[in-house]
Amino acid sequence: MKKCFVGFDTSNYTTSAAVCDMSGEIVANIKRPLPVKSGECGLRQADAVFAHIKNLPSLTDELSQALNGYETVAVGVSARPRNAEGSYMPCFLSGVAAAHSFAAPAKLPIFEFSHQSGHIMAAAYSSGESERLLKDRFLAFHVSGGTTEALLVTPCGNSFSAELVGETLDLNAGQVIDRVGVSLGLDFPCGAALERLAKNYGGKVFRPRISVREGKCNLSGLQNMAQTLFEKEKDREAVAAFVFDFICRTLIEMCGQLMAKYGEMPVLFAGGVMSNTYMRDMIRKELDAYFSEPAFSADNAAGIALLCREEYLSSQTK
């Protein structure tokens, strides 16, 4: 029977499980989105925990089918948002409980990671350049509804360390996208629908000054400018194109400032916002950057399963 590794991730948006084989290939990437009421821009933590509890039975049933022919040797789980002291969100307790329940009967080892580390690993894996990226240090952008950060990632053994070197000082990119989208009558999460609107726009994009200094940005003004633009133009497509253009120019400027400080290195974009192909095309015009496939950009447990494999194999050589 083939051996494998299982990962669990319970973010504020998605309940996820994944399976990685001994060779480091993802053989199952299972996801269940958390339901959000129309007109709302997210979930309270208590509601997210409850939604995960409702999702986990059907998710683990599908996981058991994916594990036919495999023997699980270790379990990984995202237990916190970031690798930082005090980093905590209640929704991740759902995944920790599921991982322990899954591992306990067979007395499998459990390895805990951060949600952010899972994103970086999944992005590196699906970028097609994981060997190059995990060989030397690189700059990783984690851009989502809950995070807009730039990290200086340094491989160390079978894992990596990540130093926070850039961030938003107010709203996250995904928050702005969802708030603007909901104000335009779109359902949360709004990224995909807003992207379709942007792709249909053929006019001149409104380009006000962005706010970036020493690798740190401000995005709160973007929401107000988008609302003002819509009130003036009544054009949802123009607003969508404006929002993505502003965020892309911000990320590109952050990257330029950080490269000037830390030197040239590969750049990797991860996180749910970066599943947006409209934004990828814009960034590629300015940067030689790597992106994960959309299925591995949004919240998923694939990176956690891959990190579990690395940690397990490392523990066997000690």
The CATH number assigned to the domain holding 26 equals 3.30.420.40
Q: Tokens for 150?
A: 């730039």
Is residue 44 a part of any domain in this protein?
Answer: yes
Supply the range of the domain harboring residue 88: 2-127+296-316
Q: 197 pLDDT exceeds 80?
A: yes
* pLDDT averaged over every residue in the chain: 94
- CA–CA separation, 107 and 288 (whole Å): 45
Query: Is the overall model pTM greater than 0.85, yes or no?
Result: yes
Q: Is the pLDDT of residue 157 over 80?
A: no
Based on the fold, state whether residues 171 and 230 are members of the same structural domain.
yes
Helix, strand, or coil here: 266?
Answer: coil
Domain membership flag for residue 270: yes
Q: What is the pLDDT of residue 15?
A: 98
19 and 83 assigned to the same domain = yes
Identify which of 175, 188, 173 has the alpha carbon closest to the alpha carbon of residue 141: 173
**318 band by pLDDT with thresholds 50, 70 and 90:** low
pLDDT value at residue 133: 84
pLDDT in the model for residue 126? 94
pLDDT value at 118 more than 80: yes
Q: Is the pLDDT of residue 85 over 90?
A: no
Give the side-chain half-sphere CA count within 13 A for 23: 4
- Residue 147 maps to a domain: no
Annotate 227-253 with b (16+ C-beta within 10 A) or e (fewer): eebbeeeeebbbbbbbbbbbbbbbbbb
Say yes or no: 257 and 307 in one domain.
no
Q: Is the dihedral of CA 162, 166, 169, 173 positive or negative?
A: negative
Mean pLDDT of the region 304-313 = 96
Whether residue 82 sits in one domain with residue 19 = yes
Judgement on whether residues 120 and 9 belong to the same structural domain of the protein: yes
Q: What is the mean pLDDT of residues 67-89?
A: 94
Q: What domain count does the chain have?
A: 2
- Together in a domain, 101 and 190: no
Residue at 180 is within a domain: yes
Specify whether 10 is located in the same domain as 121. yes
Tokens of 286: 């300015």
Residue 137 lies in a domain: no
218 and 101, same domain (yes or no): no
**179 and 275 fall within a common domain:** yes
DSSP conformation class of 106: G
Q: Which residue has the higher pLDDT, 67 or 36?
A: 67
Q: How far, in Å, CA of 141 to CA of 29, rounded?
A: 22
Instruction: State mean pLDDT over 277-296.
Output: 93
Share of the chain above pLDDT 90, in %: 86
> In the 8-state DSSP scheme, what is residue 219?
-
Considering only residues 150 and 134, tell me which one the structure prediction assigns the higher pLDDT: 150
Q: Are 298 and 29 in contact (CB under 8 A)?
A: no
Please tell me the predicted confidence (pLDDT) of residue 144.
93
pLDDT on residue 290: 95
pLDDT at 158: 58
Identify whether 16 is part of a domain.
Answer: yes
| Average confidence (pLDDT) over 78-105 | 95
Q: Between 93 and 83, name the one with better pLDDT.
A: 93
Q: What's the rounded mean pLDDT across residues 194-212?
A: 97
- What is the per-residue pLDDT across 214-263, written as a single tens digit (0 to 9) for each? 999 999 999 999 999 999 999 999 999 999 999 999 999 999 999 999 99
Tell me, yes or no, whether 171 and 90 share the same domain: no
Q: Do 175 and 110 reside in the same domain of the chain?
A: no
**What pLDDT shows up at residue 135?**
84
Residue 181 lies in a domain: yes
Query: Do 74 and 180 fall within a single domain?
Result: no
Give me the pLDDT at residue 192, please.
95
Q: Is residue 76 part of a domain?
A: yes
